[in-house]
Amino acid sequence: MIKHLIKKAIPKKLLPKVKAINFILRNKVTYAQDCLYTTVNADFMNDARFANAYAKGRALMLESWGDYQFHWRAYVACWAAQKASGIEGDFVECGVNTGMLDRMIIDYVDFAHLPKKFYLMDTFQGMDEAYSTEAEMKRSHTMGYVDVYEQVKKTFKEFPNVELVKGPIPDTLPLVPSKAIAYLSIDMNCVAPEVAALEYFWDRIVSGGVVLFDDYGFPGHEQQKTAHDAFAAKKGVSILPLPTGQGLIIKP
């Protein structure tokens, strides 16, 4: 009876939110970071190999942005890279910044011992005015990107199969000589360069190769999602929206 009265007193619009809060209060929250709050199993958090890899990337983050927890997103990238490490083709990341995710991946899949190259593509100093809208440039300024090229060179100098490709995408795309790509990560936070990279690399991505979109489902990144969905539809594939906010394609 009381339950019924409470339910009646709550405006219909708020009911799903109240139900969600009630569910969270009654169940053990297993994960609460990076816009994702859930009670489902998160055992990967206890995986020592992942924890070591995450720590390598986190150290870079602490040097630059400060601390931000995003374990599940990082785990998805490590999982995708692990899958890609077993097939023919190189790795490419478009949008590297300090190389936080890439440093994790390199550790997780032991990239130094793979017969592959990892191309890290970035201006290494934020978005490029020529290829970004005014709104995107505003975001770039808010993010406070600084010149990180020397720092990134230092981070990856111990890995001879990692190559930095400095400059704005799309200009630098022809500098990646790979004919086969197994892992493509897209994380530039701006539409035109992301689409240009997809267009350029798509035919080189091998069957079973992975495309990972970092910002796909995040609030404020709707234009990227719209553009990537249109690209995917044109290629006859669909992007899997992940609860982490990422998007994933495994190329048929």
Short-list 242, 177, 192, 170, CA closest to 213: 242
What single letter denotes the amino acid at residue 240?
A: L
Alpha-carbon gap, residue 137 to 127, rounded angstroms: 7
Task: Work out whether 122 is an interface residue with ligand SAM (CB under 6 A).
Answer: yes
Task: Work out whether 95 is an interface residue with ligand SAM (CB under 6 A).
Answer: yes
Task: Work out whether 247 is an interface residue with ligand SAM (CB under 6 A).
Answer: no
Task: Work out whether 168 is an interface residue with ligand SAM (CB under 6 A).
Answer: yes
Task: Work out whether 187 is an interface residue with ligand SAM (CB under 6 A).
Answer: yes
Q: Segment contacting ligand SAM (CB under 6 A): 17-25, 82-90, 94-102, 224-232?
A: 94-102
Select the residue interacting with ligand SAM from 80, 81, 100, 205 (CB under 6 A): 100
Alpha-carbon gap, residue 58 to 68, rounded angstroms: 8
Site for ligand SAM in 41-60 (CB under 6 A): none
- Comparing CB distances to ligand SAM, the nearer of 145 and 159 is 145
* Rounded (5°) CA angle 71-73-77: 110
Block residue for tokens 């770039």: 140
Alpha-carbon gap, residue 102 to 106, rounded angstroms: 6
Q: Evaluate whether 78 touches 104 at the Cβ level (below 8 Å).
A: yes
Site for ligand SAM in 136-155 (CB under 6 A): 145
Task: Work out whether 169 is an interface residue with ligand SAM (CB under 6 A).
Answer: yes
Alpha-carbon gap, residue 143 to 236, rounded angstroms: 34
Task: Work out whether 90 is an interface residue with ligand SAM (CB under 6 A).
Answer: no
What residue ranges bind ligand SAM (CB under 6 A)?
95-98, 100-101, 121-123, 126-128, 131, 145, 168-169, 187-190, 193
